[in-house]
Chains A and B, each alone.
Chain A
Amino acid sequence: MLFVRSWLTPRQLRRLLSCWSCNAASQEVICSQCGKIQPPQQEVNYFKVLHQEEKFTLRAQDLQKRFRDMQRVLHPDKFANCSEKEKNFSADQSALVNQAYQVLLKPIQRATYLLQLKGISLAEVQLSQEFLLEMMEFNEEIDRADDSKREELLGQIAEFEELAMAELQEHFANKKLSEASESLAKLKYFENLRNRLS
């Protein structure tokens, strides 16, 4: 380990591996030895931040509970009487937990993040000409639609979304990541359509 990290200064190394306050080896948010809050690690994984398994299907209740439990401990309000250093760490940790929660909570963002962790970018998805034509025509229909037609189109989009979301879930469950990225790209289009109508 020392050899591998030899380009780091001893101080940086210590910061990476141990508690800044008591020097105990600690990778936790709160040091298990002295109970001091730690700065966020350099490379974060939102699933790890919120102690979730790295997969698409999450239990929203578990996620929410974990988020609230963590914020109860990490929130800057809890560090009002602490040193500046601890206040800063608390602000960083709390912001990170917030960010992780926002991404993992929403299925589209969670799926995008999960694929990103696997090195898959949505930009590489090849959508068929048929699908693009359908999206172009749907957008043009929105341009022409009156209020009642808009309601009808919203209903259609909800159906598209439901179908694509079920597909996405299935592809992730079967570890078919390139198919998952295609379903996700479609969901992005549907989301844009819905945003134009609502």
Chain B
Amino acid sequence: MLSRVISKSLNSLKSPFGGQTACYHEKVIDHYENPRNVGSLDKTSNKVGTGLVGAPACGDVMRLQVKVDDQGKIVEAKFKTFGCASAIASSSLATEWIKGKTVDEALRLKNTDIAKELCLPPVKLHCSMLAEDAVRAALADYRIKQKPEAASDKP
């Protein structure tokens, strides 16, 4: 089943022009075939922030979650992305990078860093932006939960 999905998606990587394969960097293929930190965290927990974002032009949807300890350090990061290889690779890389960082450090993550690391072509830059948006949304959700009124609702 998984291999079917992958082979199907790899076919779709082929460019419609002349049947040449799109120049996906091997780093994208690596994250795509062995995505890091796929999964979910308990979104009702006060220590978990969830970001859910979409790319309407492609029909992609991305969920990224962080678990933050009492020292404000991100101890776990999970993602689930339904979209193209670049979107999957971008979110996979983002979770790798923010793990072990503080919330403030993680907020400094830039889509351009992701795009550079994965050598994304210009038409795929929006995938790295989506990953940045997802990180920011997850951290914002976590911070809202940390506000006193929210905390008193759910200890």
Residues of A near any B CB (own CB < 8 A): 121-123, 125, 127, 129, 131-133, 135-136, 139-140, 185, 188-192, 196
Evaluate contact between A129 and B52: CB separation under 8 angstroms: yes
Asked whether B52 lies within 8 Å of A188 as measured between CB atoms, the reply is: no
Contacting pair B56 A125 (CB below 8 A): yes
Q: Could you tell me the distance between the alpha carbons of A123 and B125 in the complex, rounded to whole angstroms?
A: 12
Residue of B nearest to A139 (CB): B82
A136 in contact with B82 (CB, 8 Å): yes
- B: which residues have CB within 8 A of A? 5, 52-61, 63, 80, 82-83, 126
Q: Which residues of A contact B59 (CB under 8 A)?
A: 185, 188-192
Q: How many A-B residue pairs have CB under 8 A?
A: 49
The answer to whether A139 touches B61, judged by C-beta atoms less than 8 angstroms apart, is yes
In angstroms, Cα B58 to Cα A188, docked, is 7
In the assembled complex, the Cα of A188 lies from the Cα of B59 at a distance in Å of 5
Q: Which residues of B contact A122 (CB under 8 A)?
A: 56-57
* A134 to B, closest residue via Cβ: B61
B57 touches A132 (CB 8 A): no
* Assembled-state Cα–Cα distance A165/B148 (Å): 45
**Shortest distance from the beta carbon of B128 to any chain A beta carbon, whole Å:** 14
Contacts of A189 in B (CB 8 A): 54, 56, 59, 61
Given the known interface contacts A135-B61, A139-B61, A189-B61, the answer about A123 and B82 at a Cβ–Cβ threshold of 8 Å is no
Known A135-B61, A189-B61, A196-B5; contact A123-B56, beta-carbon cutoff 8 A = yes
Q: Is the CB of B126 within 8 A of A123?
A: yes
Instruction: Return chain B residues, CB-CB under 8 Å to A127.
Output: 54, 56
B61: shortest Cβ distance to chain A, in Å?
A: 5
